A and B are shown apart, each in its own frame.
Chain A
Amino acid sequence: MSWLTEFVRPKIRTLLGRREVPDNLWIQCPACQQMMFHTELDKNLKVCTHCGHHMRVTAQQRLGWTFDEGRFTRIELPKVPNDPLRFRDTKRYPDRLKEAREKTQLDDALVVAHGTIGGHRAVVAVMAFEFIGGSMGAAVGEGIVAAAKLAVLQDAPLIVFTASGGARMMEGAISLMQMPRTVIATRLVKDAGLPFITVLTDPTTGGVTASFTMLGDIQIAEPAAEIGFAGARVIEQTVREKLPEGFQRSEYLLGHGILDMVVKRTELAATLARLIGLLRVKEREAA
């Protein structure tokens, strides 16, 4: 596959099942407070076996659950300026980045991989909420663009799992410009006749929602994910009204015609496989 060596350096070939937690760990569900043994919880893709609450998960876990047999190839994403504004609040931005990188072992809040889903080639980008709240700066924007280009080169659909508090404030207007940049990424995929599918997970807010996320050919959300543009607190302060029950949750958006479907995590991979199969009647033979 010469395009791959030309375009991107494969990063890590990872298999599902890498131990990330100690053996004797009981985990409490934040929704129903019930305890579960970690292996039981992992087997259920971090969905509470008692109440069905979908816990937040790492980008790496997502990739493993999405691709066939948990096999995928991660790609190295283009480098961007580390601290373009020399931003400093109570902390220096480079220090925040360093901390996040050490904590997550990620370069920034997006990972991109390719593999197969239900036997169909696919490129999957996953936002990492664990990295500065999944906020979108130049690195995330550049990663979405790279994922789109990879999808076009591979003649594969692009699937993006979103999880983000919004813009990376420490990159100022550069983070704002990732909105048009990621919108262009969606056009690259669509203009090539390929499906662009977004899977919205908890939480998906701000500029990430108001750009590529809402331009999916198909828009799926996990149950009860927080999804919106403006923050709930800001809205409450502005309109001085109590927010309606279930406001800005997946089911609310589904009811308002903004999503195609709400799908349980355990059924996501199969749903994606079915959708790709249905959409891609002209799929080229694998090179």
Chain B
Amino acid sequence: MRHFLDFEKPIAELEGKVEELRKMSEADGINIAEEVVRLTEKADRQLRSTYARLSAWQKTQVARHPDRPKAKDYLAGLITEYTPLAGDRAFADDAAVVGGLGRFRGRSVVVLGTEKGSDTESRVAHNFGMARPEGYRKARRLIELAGRFGLPVLTFVDTSGAFPGIDAEARGQAEAIARSIEACLEAPVPLIATIIGEGGSGGAIALAAGDAVLMLEHAVYSVISPEGCAAILWKDAAQAPAAAEALKLTAEDLRRLKLIDAVIAEPLGGAHRDPAAAVGAVGDAVQAALQPLLALDAVTLKARRRDKYLEMGREALS
């Protein structure tokens, strides 16, 4: 069963009708091909027009869609010889941050991702993609490992944010995030970050301070969730749609602000309608971003990365 978002209800109805007609024609042998074609086209048009002008709040929902491909889908689709590595060497292995060694289009790389999980059991196992300090410390360890062996780092970010827990604070959540950001910035190898779903605040930037930051068309990247922002500034969480709009958290807005480098087009109706196509598109975009960086030596790469971030934020929307 496909999961439909609220604003997709008209599309769901049309697609439901098509499905019904198909079943009827199979059962009764009635030829209704024309009607099926007509309705299919209508549903397609509806889907196209809906997805062409999603609001920031609708994009937030698409970015959080339960069927949206997760970090592990990108690892499975893009990385061969994937060899997961575990642990922060201090306290635990955090399943919210997955990563290890593997090959991307033949090249040995280090991959990292925040993993939300795709069913109840795996969501709980991955703590819904909310990492604890161990997760960020594992990320830092793997980025440093990549540096030692000259391997590019590819990160796939999808998290509502760092885990807000007593244990996480006690073990230095803030320090772990700060060090992970520092590891990204200090890496002597190319680091390509892709925001594939939700880029939630500090928990996202911890793995995304890269040479190139790519974002899927319907992904969102924000300093605070729309709900959190609405609760604080509007004193009403129900104002989340307005907050989403105001925060300028869409890929297109962030590209205009020059905070990200490229927007990756999604299959019609969002990545969840055709995960394989979405994974392929991300692979091509990562390859395109990585290629020119491979020629740069560590000193140039680091200096370039520093300049990139130091230049950031001077842009304003008009």
Contacts and interface: CB of A to CB of B under 8 A. Distances in A.
A187 B185 contact: yes
Given A84-B316, A89-B234, A173 B177 contact: no
Contact of A84 (B174, B223, B257): B257
Contacts of A244: 166
Interface string B282-318: 0000000000000000000000001001101111110
Interface stretch (B19-27, B141-149, B243-251): B243-251
A141 B259 CA distance: 15
A170 B234 CA distance: 12
Given A85-B247, A89-B234, A173-B249, A167 B224 contact: yes
A181 B222 contact: no
B177 A248 contact: no
A234 interface: yes
B104 interface: no
A167 B313 contact: no
B203 to A, nearest CB: 9
Given A207-B202, A228-B169, A80 B314 contact: yes
B309 A85 contact: no
B233 A90 contact: yes
A247 interface: yes
A84 B243 contact: no
B181 A183 contact: yes
A230 B166 CA distance: 9
B184 interface: yes
B1 interface: no
Contacts of B257: 84-85, 173-174
B274 interface: no
A180 B209 contact: yes
B169 to A, nearest CB: 5
B129 to A, nearest CB: 14
A119 B256 CA distance: 48
Interface in A121-163: 138, 141-142, 145
Interface in B222-279: 222-224, 228-229, 232-235, 242-243, 246-249, 254, 257, 259
Interface residues of B, number: 54
A234 B164 contact: yes
Contacts of B242: 89
Contact of B170 (A87, A213, A256): A256
Among A84, A178, A247, A248, max chain B CB count under 10 A is at: A84
A17 interface: no
A177 B310 CA distance: 9
Contact of B172 (A87, A88, A235, A256): A256
Contact of A210 (B177, B306, B312): B177
Contacts of B179: 214-215
B178 interface: yes
A172 interface: yes
A100 to B, nearest CB: 15
A193 to B, nearest CB: 16
A214 B249 contact: no
Given A173-B222, A179-B181, A183-B178, A85 B169 contact: no
Contacts of A196: none
A211 B178 contact: yes
Given A84-B315, A235-B169, A229 B205 contact: no
A25 interface: no
Contacts of B314: 80-81, 138
A33 to B, nearest CB: 29
A30 interface: no
Contact of B173 (A176, A183, A210, A239): A210
B174 A229 contact: yes
A243 interface: yes
Contacts of B175: 210, 214, 258
Contacts of A35: none
The interface centre, meaning the residue of A211, A214, A252 with most chain B CB atoms within 10 A of its CB, is A214
Contact of B248 (A173, A186, A235, A252): A173
A170 B175 CA distance: 25
Nearest to A231: B164
Interface in A171-206: 171-181, 183-184, 186-187, 206
B29 interface: no
15 contacts: A80-B313, A84-B257, A85-B247, A85-B317, A167-B201, A169-B224, A169-B232, A172-B247, A173-B249, A177-B312, A179-B178, A181-B313, A214-B177, A229-B162, A229-B173
Given A85-B316, A174-B313, 8 more contacts: A81-B314, A84-B257, A142-B313, A169-B247, A177-B309, A183-B181, A229-B202, A238-B165
